[in-house]
Structure 1
């Protein structure tokens, strides 16, 4: 079903940029043993970005930069402590979707140090524009 049929705006073609398996040490968690301890979080982020009608220009200023994803993760990781991965994912999505050309975000955050594998959260959010 198209976005238009689902009640969303169909603004034409879109591209995706992504960051996969980016690991950052973060103090996060709701349990007593998680306070004062940094844990490895693995981030995978996909952003759907609106394509302009203008011809492609080979300049960073003409696209949504991957640096936006890195910097936003780092800013949140260095900011006020969060208890939940869900909170981190929601805040990351909100900040990335605030960018004009970002129309949708898929975010997966996994804790790598709590179990023998990983545990985490994955969300999808759309821009309200």
Structure 2
């Protein structure tokens, strides 16, 4: 079982809403199963475990972003090259790690929406989000 496999039942709405749902799930810290919380706490003092968990999370983020980028391309946007997807994935992981901090605080949804609108959509769809009515406006 992959501790970062949250399922993607959120997929197949708009690209923006799917990205927001993905980022909310990836950036959510509260409500984690106790084994996940204990493992992450243990990783702070065990560099090998920390490296393994970091790599698994990076792979999870890249896989989910790849799926969303593929959907974006299927709707007519320019396909996201592998190198750009790698940089985008690394950026998402770094920003999530930065904003959750060492104590694992959840990121406010407004911050995640700004990241989606100004970074992820700009990279995947070729333009930043233009405000229209949405569930997450």
| Pairwise same-fold verdict (TM > 0.5) | no
For normalisation by structure 1, the TM-score amounts to: 0.28
Higher relative contact order, structure no. (Cα contacts within 8 Å, ≥ 6 residues apart):
2
Whose strand fraction is larger, Structure 1's or Structure 2's?
Answer: 1
Whose helix fraction is larger, Structure 1's or Structure 2's?
Answer: 2
